[in-house]
């Protein structure tokens, strides 16, 4: 810490410097000034932690100096050393919040404990202030998250009406109209495990972008709405207002715009379900549940769909949806069985559809399209072949049939078509050949697995697993062996080529690395292999 000593009498300054154990008090730097004006300049330059000043000085007296310091710093401890026992001086010193007022001559045994005390109090107050400021900053940094959590608690029914509610709304800067009624809609993103959303990092970036799109769209239609927060890949949105009809119209418009913007800017499939209007915030939890129920219906129809709970409610679930186990049975038959297995797995489900009573064709179409989407998503999850299966997601032909019998035929044909397409001896063998062909055409370049996956529009994980399973070798290992095999042929047919020339021709820019790889494959250095080959040819 630093202390500023201000006195026009040099001997007084020297006495203070010599007789007070400054280091023991925590002061490691002493600054001196010969009058009040000099003291003010020194204060501005050094920003001391303690000031001791005389009162009667030329240019600027001690009290005037204290007044100027107090204008910029109300906390610094100041001790006055005065040769005048004047009441007015002492009174003004108190008004200026001086820590202590000593009369000269100074008794050093009295001033030392006072300096120690005021410094301890100053450090304590400074630490407290720093802690308070740090806490304030942490609170400001955390405020968006706390605000998001509070809105989520409102939607989840955890916030009740009370005296503190208005204060919390004000604290989080939340529109008070949020309590007057509204609609919860749930936005769901569908991750198809393609190259676009392969990594978790990329997927979270897309989710963040979707949240921003939703916020921008809500803002376009007034300030009566909030994006809540993700629950897995679902994002609840709250649209509120006093007039139910206006809120319904606005919510529908917002939902439609969000779906279009996500498809246009991000090319990620999504769906939205809208709950019913709740007359006050205490029933938002019910609207939230309704939005998720409506979302299930929209997903059954296809992607980029919007469903309203009021519409879903008009079609009660008289036919029980296909279970996860039934979907899994079909998937395993398609992936691991033959056509007979697929038909056997489908037969009991077909019978249920055939004997369903009093169900509209539109409702059965919705159930069946959801069934097919569930199968496709499960196959994508197990095979990571999203890019290939995009065409199977478009289910318009199911909605074109007009009878239950034709619907059953359409579903059966779609399942068999899916089986034929995924026949492993047909499509996967094709990929193996395409990988080998790409290596053969590009071995001389800086070739990576990522380049191949990008060329085939398949994920690195999928082609790596497929190649390893079918050939017993990794793609990287295959590239290395292919290059070394070519290098050996060059050494045999063109013995005059230098090692660095061969290295470059087979795709290695670093000759030393090529030599290490060559030895790891053949057991010999390139130079040793060339000598051995020359001996053979003689």
Query: What would the pLDDT profile of 383-402 be if each residue is shown by its tens digit?
Result: 766 656 765 655 667 777 87
The pLDDT mean for the chain works out to 86
What's residue 480's pLDDT? Answer: 94
Region label for 457, one of left (φ > 0), alpha (ψ between -120 and 50) or beta (otherwise):
left
- Among 90-104, 211-225, 253-267, 326-340, the minimum mean pLDDT is found in 90-104
**Six-digit token pair at 184?**
């919860």
So what's the pLDDT on residue 261?
Answer: 94
Residue 66 pLDDT > 70, yes or no?
Answer: yes
- Interhelix angle 339-354/361-383, rounded to 10 degrees, is 150
pLDDT value, residue 74: 87
Q: List the one residue out of 201, 260, 253 whose CA is nearest residue 224.
A: 253
Parallel/antiparallel/unpaired status of strands 2-6 and 29-33: parallel
Band of pLDDT at residue 535, cut at 50, 70 and 90: low
Q: What is the pLDDT of residue 531?
A: 82
The pLDDT of residue 313:
57
**pLDDT tens digits for 158-169?**
888 776 888 889
Tell me which residue has tokens 């059966």: 412
- The tally of CA atoms less than 13 A away on the side-chain side of residue 72 is 9
> Any residues with CB less than 8 A from the CB of 379 and at least 6 apart, and which?
331, 334, 335, 385, 389, 418, 422
pLDDT at 2 over 70: yes
Q: What is the pLDDT of residue 512?
A: 92
CA dist 184 and 169 (Å) reads: 19
Q: Residue 498: exposed, middle, or buried by beta-carbon count in 10 A (0-12, 13-18, 19+)?
A: exposed
Element (H, E) at 225: strand 225-227
- Whether residue 126 contacts residue 140, with contact meaning beta carbons closer than 8 Å, is answered with no
Confidence of residue 85 (pLDDT cuts 50, 70, 90): low
State the alpha helices, DSSP H only, in 384-448: 386-393, 396-400, 404-421, 424-442
What does the alpha-carbon distance between residue 400 and residue 390 come to, in Å, rounded to a whole number? 20
Whether the bond into 105 is cis, omega within 30 of 0: yes
Residue 477 near residue 512 (C-beta atoms within 8 A): no
The owner of tokens 């559809």 is 353
Quick one: pLDDT band at residue 113, thresholds 50, 70, 90?
very high
For the segment 288-316, the average pLDDT, to the nearest whole number, is 76
Residue 454 binned pLDDT confidence (cut-offs 50, 70, 90): confident
21 CB-contact burial (10 Å; exposed 0-12 / middle 13-18 / buried 19+) = exposed
């Amino acid at each position: 810490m630093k202390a500023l000593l201000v006195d026009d009498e040099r001997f007084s300054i020297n006495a203070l410097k010599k007789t007070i154990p400054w280091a023991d008090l925590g002061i490691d730097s002493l600054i001196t000034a010969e009058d009040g004006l000099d003291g003010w300049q020194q204060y501005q330059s050094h920003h001391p932690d303690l000031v001791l000043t005389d009162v009667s000085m030329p240019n600027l007296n001690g009290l005037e100096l204290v007044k100027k310091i107090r204008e910029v710093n109300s906390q610094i401890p100041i001790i006055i050393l005065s040769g005048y026992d004047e009441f007015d001086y002492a009174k003004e010193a108190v008004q200026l919040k001086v820590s202590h007022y000593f009369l000269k001559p100074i008794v050093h045994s009295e001033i030392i404990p006072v300096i120690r005390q005021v410094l301890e109090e100053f450090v304590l107050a400074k630490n407290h202030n720093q802690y308070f400021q740090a806490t304030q900053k942490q609170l400001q940094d955390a405020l968006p998250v706390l605000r998001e959590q509070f809105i989520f608690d409102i939607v989840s029914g955890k916030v009740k009406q009370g005296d503190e509610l208005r204060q919390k709304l004000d604290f989080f800067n939340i529109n008070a109209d949020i309590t007057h009624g509204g609609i919860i809609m749930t936005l769901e993103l569908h991750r198809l495990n393609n190259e676009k959303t392969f990594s978790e990092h990329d997927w979270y970036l897309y989710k963040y972008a979707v949240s921003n799109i939703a916020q921008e769209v809500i803002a376009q239609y007034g300030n009566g709405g909030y994006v809540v927060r993700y629950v897995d890949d679902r994002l609840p949105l709250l649209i509120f207002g006093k007039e139910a009809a206006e809120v319904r119209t606005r919510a529908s418009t917002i939902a439609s715009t969000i779906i279009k913007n996500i498809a246009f800017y991000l090319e990620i499939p999504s769906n939205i379900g809208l709950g019913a209007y709740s007359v006050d915030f205490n029933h938002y939890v019910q609207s939230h549940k309704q939005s998720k129920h409506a979302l299930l219906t929209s997903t059954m129809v296809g992607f980029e769909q919007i469903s309203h709970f009021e519409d879903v409610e008009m079609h009660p679930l008289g036919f029980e949806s296909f279970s996860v186990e039934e979907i899994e049975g079909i998937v395993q038959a398609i992936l691991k069985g033959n056509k007979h297995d697929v038909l056997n797995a489908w037969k009991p489900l077909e019978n249920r559809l055939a004997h369903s009573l009093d169900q509209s064709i539109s409702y059965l179409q919705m159930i069946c399209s959801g069934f097919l989407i569930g199968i496709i998503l499960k196959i994508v999850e197990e095979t990571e072949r999203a890019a290939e299966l995009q065409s199977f997601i478009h289910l318009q032909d199911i909605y074109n049939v007009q009878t239950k019998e034709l619907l059953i035929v359409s579903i059966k044909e779609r399942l068999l078509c899916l089986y034929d397409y995924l026949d492993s001896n047909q499509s996967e063998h094709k990929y193996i050949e395409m990988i080998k062909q790409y290596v053969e055409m590009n071995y001389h370049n800086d070739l990576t697995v990522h380049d191949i996956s990008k060329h085939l529009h398949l994920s690195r994980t999928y082609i790596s697993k497929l190649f390893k399973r079918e050939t017993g070798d990794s793609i990287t290992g295959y590239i290395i062996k292919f290059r070394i095999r070519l290098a050996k042929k060059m050494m045999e047919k063109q013995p005059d080529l230098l090692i660095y020339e061969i290295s470059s021709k087979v795709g290695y820019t670093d000759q030393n690395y090529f030599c290490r790889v060559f030895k790891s494959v053949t057991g010999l250095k390139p130079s040793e292999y060339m000598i051995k080959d020359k001996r053979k040819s003689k």
